[in-house]
Amino acid sequence: MFEQFKNKKYKSLLPYFFLASAVIVVFKIVYEINTFIEFFAGLWNIATPFFIGFLIAYIFNIPLGGFRQLFGRSKSKFILKIKNVLSVLITLIIFALLFFLILYLIIPYIQKIISFFIVNLPSYYDRTLQYIDNINNLELFGIYISEERILSFLQDIFSNISIESLASPINAIFEVSTAIFTIILAIISSIYILAEKEKFKRFFRRLLTAFIPINVRDTILGYIGSLNKNFKRYIHIQTIDGCILGTIVTIELLILGSPYALMLGIMLGIVNYIPYFGSIFGSIFVVIIVVFTQGFVIAAIAAAVLLITQQIDGNIIQPKLMGGSFSLSPLLIIISITVGGAFAGVLGMIAAIPIIAVLKDILENVITHYERKKKDTFTNKDQ
C-alpha cells in the first residue's frame, strides 16, 4: 500500500521535476551562452563533412531514382536485371560531364572575364565618375554625390588591409588542406550513404516503431515522405526553370552585345534556386555590370528586358512547371526565406519552400482534426 502511494506521489511530482530541470537548463544556457555557441560550433565543424556528404548523396539520388524508374518500365528482362548498374553508370557519367564542363570550360571562361574586367577597370572607373557628375548636374531632390568621399571611403577600406591582417602561407595551406579533406570525406560519406540507404531507412523505421505508437509512426513517416517529395520536386522544377531563364537571359545579353553574357546567364540560372530574392538580386547585379561595361542606355534596356523576362518566368513558366504545387502566399514565402536564410544561409533559403509547404500541410491537418472534433462534440450534445 505504501509503495503504491509512493509511486503515485512520485508520478504526480514528475511534471514539476521536468519543469524545474528545463528551467535550470535554459538558465545555464543563457548564463553561459558563449560556451554553448562554441560547443555547437565545434560539433557543426565535425558534422560538416557528413552533412555535405548527405547533400551530395541526396542530389545524386534524385537522377539515380529517376533512371531506376525509367529502366524499371522496360520489358526486357536483361535491362530489368541490370537497371541498378545502368542507373549508377549513367548518373556518374552525367555528373562527370558536369564536372568537366565546370573545370575545363566555365572556370577558364570566368578567369578570362575577370582578366578582361581588370584590364578595363580604369575605363570603368572613369565612366563611373562621369555618371556621378551627370547625376549631380541633374540636381534631383538636392542629392549630391561627393567623389572625394567615395574615394576616401575606398582608401580607408584598402588601408586597413595589411600584410599582418592577411593569412600567412602556413595558415593558407592549412585551410586549403582542411577544405580538401572535408570534400574528400564528404564524397566518401556520400558513397556509403547511398550504398546503405535502405539499411538507414529500415533502422529508422524500427527505431520509430520501438518507441512510439504505430499510428504516430505512420504519420511521421508520411510527412517525411511528403517532405522528400517536395524537395525532389522543388529541385527538379528550379533546375529546369533556371536552365530556361539562364538561356533566355544569355541570348538577350548577347543581342545587347554584353561581353559577359554567358557568365551572367549562368549566374542568374544558379541564383534562381533562391525564390523571389535570387532572381531580383541577380538581375540587379547584371544591370550594374552592364552599366560599367556598356553604358547607362544599354543598362536601362537590359533592366527593362530582364523585368519583362522575370514577369514571363514568374507568371507563365514557373506556374506551368509547378502545376499547382507549393501553392503558398507570397508573404509566407518571403517570411520562410528570411527565416531559412537567418538559420542556414543560402541552403536555408533554398530549403525554406519545401519545408514550409509540409509545415503548412501539418497545420491544416491539425486544424481540420480539431474542427471535426469540435463539430462531433456539438453534434453529440444536440443528440
State how far the Cα of 176 lies from the Cα of 171, in Å rounded to an integer: 9
Distance from CA of residue 38 to its chain's centroid? 25
Whether the CB-CB separation of 219 and 235 falls below 8 Å is answered with: no
Domain of residue 190: give its range: 51-119+170-195
Q: Is the pLDDT score of 114 beyond 70?
A: yes
In-domain check, residue 20: no
- Residue 199: pLDDT band by 50, 70, 90 thresholds? confident
pLDDT of residue 165: 47
In-domain check, residue 32: no
State how far the Cα of 240 lies from the Cα of 334, in Å rounded to an integer: 22
How does the average pLDDT of the chain come out, rounded?
75
In-domain check, residue 65: yes
- The total number of structural domains in the chain stands at 1
pLDDT of residue 58: 80
pLDDT of residue 163: 47
**Grid coordinates representing 85?**
548498374
Q: Is the pLDDT score of 259 beyond 60?
A: yes
Return the higher-pLDDT residue of 301 and 291.
301
State how far the Cα of 377 lies from the Cα of 33, in Å rounded to an integer: 47
Q: Is the pLDDT score of 116 beyond 50?
A: yes
Whether the CB-CB separation of 242 and 269 falls below 8 Å is answered with: yes
pLDDT of residue 16: 65
- Residue 134: pLDDT band by 50, 70, 90 thresholds? confident
Q: Is the pLDDT score of 309 beyond 80?
A: yes
Return the higher-pLDDT residue of 301 and 115.
301
In-domain check, residue 190: yes
In-domain check, residue 93: yes
Q: How many CB atoms lie under 10 A from the CB of residue 316?
A: 10
Helices (H) and strands (E) in the chain, counts: 15, 0
Among 124-128, 183-187, 225-229, 325-329, the range with the most confident prediction by mean pLDDT is 225-229
Which of 8-17, 51-60, 239-248, 280-289 shows the lowest mean pLDDT across its residues? 8-17
- Residue 29: pLDDT band by 50, 70, 90 thresholds? low
> How many residues are present in the chain?
383
pLDDT of residue 2: 44
In-domain check, residue 104: yes
Q: What is the pTM of this model?
A: 0.65
In-domain check, residue 69: yes
pLDDT of residue 173: 59
Among 101-105, 122-126, 261-265, 331-335, the range with the most confident prediction by mean pLDDT is 261-265
Q: Is the pLDDT score of 171 beyond 60?
A: no
Whether the CB-CB separation of 314 and 345 falls below 8 Å is answered with: no
Q: Exposed e or buried b for every residue in 145-168, given b needs 16+ CB within 10 A? A: eeeeeeeeeeeeeeeeeeeeeeee
In-domain check, residue 305: no
Q: Is the pLDDT score of 258 beyond 80?
A: yes
